[in-house]
Amino acid sequence: MNIDEQVDYLMQGTDYGDPAIGEAMAVELRERLVESEKTGKPLKVYAGYDPTSTDLHLGHTVSMRKLRQFQELGHEVYFLIGTFTSLIGDPSDRDKSRPLLSKEKVLENARTYAEQAFRVLDPEKTRVCYNGDWLAELKMDEIFRLASNFTAQQFIARESFHRRWDANEPIYLHEFFYPLTQGFDAHHLEADVQVGGTDQLFNIVTASRKVMTAYGQKPNIGITMPLLPGTDGDQKMSKSLGNYIPINTTPEDMYGKVMSIPDKVMPIYARLVTNWKPDQVNRFEAGLETESLHPRDAKMQLAHAITSTFYGLEAADAAQTQFVTLFQKGDVPESMPEHVLVSGETVLDIMLGERMVESRSQARRLIEQQGVRLDGVTVADGAVQPEAGSVLQVGKRRFLRIIKAD
C-alpha cells in the first residue's frame, strides 16, 4: 500500500463526532507515516484496557482489530493493561461513579487478558505492559504538574459529569485523575498513536495530547472507534449490563449469542467485528436494505463470520450445524402458535400474555433456571425485547413464533 492507501485503511471506521477532528487526525497520521517510511522507524501504537472483569468481549475487539491493522503494516503495538487506572475507574460515559476495585481483584482479572487478546492480535508483534509499573511510582510533585494542565471547568463541561452535576449526583475528585493518568501513559510510552472508543475521545484527543505537549513530545494521534452495541441493541456492550458476548466462550455460545442480536444492529456488527472487506460489508448492507437478503439468513452469515474469526471455519461450521439442527430441523416444531408483537413488549410480557406460565414469579423462576430460550439462546433477563420472526421456547415443549403486525 502507498501512504494514501494506508491512511484510508487505518482511518476506516473511525468516529470523532466532528468531521473536522477526523480530518485533522488523518492529516497528522499521514505526516507520521511519511516520517516512519523515511526513517525506517515504526510507529508506536497502543490501546489501554482496564481489567474491571475477568472476560474481554466483542466490544473490546473493535479497537484490537485496529491495532492488528497497524501490526500488518509493520508498526509496534503495545497492549496496555490498566492495572493502575482500574483502581480509579474511568468516568467516561458514566452517569454514576464506578465502584473502586481492590488491587488484588484487578490483578486477578488481568491474568488472562493478554491470552484472550491474542485471539485478535499477533502475539509475536505485541508488547504487553502494565501501567501500574510507572503510575504507582508517581510522586506528588509530578501529579501536581499533570493537574496544572487542566481546569475543573474542562471536566465539569464533559457530558457525563455535566449530567451528574445537574442531577446532584456526587462527582468524586479522584475521577478527575483518570484522563491525567491516561495522558501520562501516552507520555511514558512515547506513543505516536492511541486507539480507543468514542467514549475515550476527551481522554485521547484532549487530555493525552495536552499532557504529551506539556512534556515536550509530539502529541499522539487519536484513532477513536464507534462503540459496539450489546445484544440488547441499545446500550454499549458491557458485562455489567449483561448484554455482552465474551471472547472466552464456546463457538456454539458465540454463534447463538450473535443470532440473538436485534436486526437493526447487524450492519454495525458487520463493519466492526468481522474480517469482511468494505465491498463485502456494502453488499451485506445493500441486501438488508433491498430485502433481497432475509434477516435470518443475514444473521447466520454474520454469526458464522464472527465465530470463524475466533475459532476457525471448522468450529464455526459445527456451531452453525448445531444451531440449524436444533432450531430449524430438530427440536423446534414446524407448526406452533403465533404471537403478534406489540411495540415495547418483553419476553416476560409475552409469557404472561400467552399464558405460557401461571404467574410472574413462575416466569422469573424459569428464567433463573435457564428454562427460557429465544432463538436457541438462553434468556437471562425477562426484560429482553424480542424481534419479529423469533421463536420463544419455554421449558422443553412450549414454543411460540413471534410475528409482526400486518
Question: Would you list the domain boundaries of the chain?
Answer: 3-225, 249-330, 334-406
Q: Which residues of 41-62 are buried (b: 16+ CB within 10 A; e: fewer)?
A: ebbbbbbbbbbbebbbbbbbbb
CA distances in angstroms from 223 to 235, 310, 394, listed in the order given: 22, 24, 45
Alpha carbon distance 275, 312 (integer Å)? 12
Residue 16's contacts (CB-CB under 8 Å, 6 or more residues apart) are: 22, 25, 198, 201, 205, 222, 224
CA angle (98 as vertex; 177, 68 as ends), nearest 5: 75
User: Residues of the chain whose pLDDT is less than 70?
Assistant: 89-101, 159, 326-334, 397
Give residue 320's identity as a one-letter amino acid code.
Answer: Q
Residue 221's contacts (CB-CB under 8 Å, 6 or more residues apart) are: 25, 28, 29, 32, 192, 193, 194
What pLDDT, on a 0 to 100 scale, did the predictor assign at position 45? 98
Query: Are 130 and 110 spatial neighbours (Cβ–Cβ below 8 Å)?
Result: yes
Query: Are 82 and 217 spatial neighbours (Cβ–Cβ below 8 Å)?
Result: no
3-class DSSP state of 340: strand
Q: In what order do the strands lie in the sheet with 377-378?
A: 338-340, 398-403, 391-394, 372-374, 377-378
CATH number among 3.40.50.620, 3.40.50.300, 3.40.1190.20, 3.20.20.70, domain 3-225: 3.40.50.620
Query: Are 245 and 257 spatial neighbours (Cβ–Cβ below 8 Å)?
Result: yes
What pLDDT, on a 0 to 100 scale, did the predictor assign at position 95? 45
What pLDDT, on a 0 to 100 scale, did the predictor assign at position 304? 97
CATH number among 3.50.30.10, 1.10.3210.10, 3.40.50.1370, 1.10.240.10, domain 249-330: 1.10.240.10
Alpha carbon distance 103, 82 (integer Å)? 11
Q: How far is CA 270 from the centre of its chain?
A: 13
Query: Are 310 and 254 spatial neighbours (Cβ–Cβ below 8 Å)?
Result: yes
What pLDDT, on a 0 to 100 scale, did the predictor assign at position 330? 54
What pLDDT, on a 0 to 100 scale, did the predictor assign at position 74? 95
According to CATH, the topology of domain 334-406 is: 3.10.290
What pLDDT, on a 0 to 100 scale, did the predictor assign at position 156? 78
> For the chain, what's the residue count?
406
Residue 202's contacts (CB-CB under 8 Å, 6 or more residues apart) are: 92, 158, 179
